[in-house]
Amino acid sequence: MILAIKLGGSEKFSLIITVFVIIILAASYFYFENSSMGTKEIAVIATLSTFAAVARAAFAAFPNIKPTTFLVALSGLVFGPYEGFLIGSTAGFISNIFLGQGPWTPWQMFAWGLVGAISGLIGKGKKPSAEKFSVICFLYGFMFDWIMNLWHVIGFIRPLNIKTIALAYATGLTFDIMHAVSSFIFCIIFYDSFYKVMDRFKKRLKVTYLK
């Protein structure tokens, strides 16, 4: 009650959205903790998350060029929506160990988790071509940055109205384009070779029982 009195409308909205993001992340890891995944599945998730995180750190000197988006998207495509969400969110957390943790971390975890989850749903159908999936990765670049822009807007922009929101999104448009284009390029170059490697790992995880 005291918190509600002290907070204004924008602050309360920011708090609600942030809590919602944290709840989703906590629920996904709680489910993972109580799931029946074996050590091999856990090892693959940990390995891909770390690889995606290190790839982000390696390109940290280049403004908003993130191979993490492509790697998370491809991981979700191959291993499924839940695994993709875990790989994406974990990659966000691990990479920020190198680049700096902060209130933005849960949002980055959620945004990359969403990239992995959507790709997992796409992977339930026919395998997309490199060209089609590159376009999808291009759109992921914008989606990720627009989610992070939302965090910036509800946390720091005052007064909160259509004009200030549009200005905040327009200010980051150059960086959004760089993220989208780089994700497209990474996918065009590495899609086929990386897909084969991940698919091979996935097949090794399958157990066939003989009657």
- CATH code: domain of residue 94: 1.10.1760.20
Q: What is the pLDDT of residue 28?
A: 73
**Residue in 112, 43, 15 with CA at minimum distance from that of residue 72:** 112
Structural domain boundaries, residue 81 = 9-204
Residue 169 CA to residue 160 CA, distance in Å, equals 13
pTM, two decimal places:
0.84
Phi first, then psi: give them for residue 12, nearest 5 degrees: -65, -40
Q: What is the pLDDT of residue 30?
A: 75
- What are 30-51's pLDDT values in tens digits? 766 666 666 777 888 889 999 9
The total domain count for the chain is 1
Q: What is the pLDDT of residue 157?
A: 80
Residue 68 CA to residue 189 CA, distance in Å, equals 14
Q: Is residue 111 assigned to a domain?
A: yes
Cβ–Cβ under 8 Å, residues 15 and 7: yes
- What are 41-79's pLDDT values in tens digits? 788 888 999 999 999 999 998 989 999 999 999 999 999
Cβ–Cβ under 8 Å, residues 138 and 145: no
H helix and E strand count, the chain: 9, 0
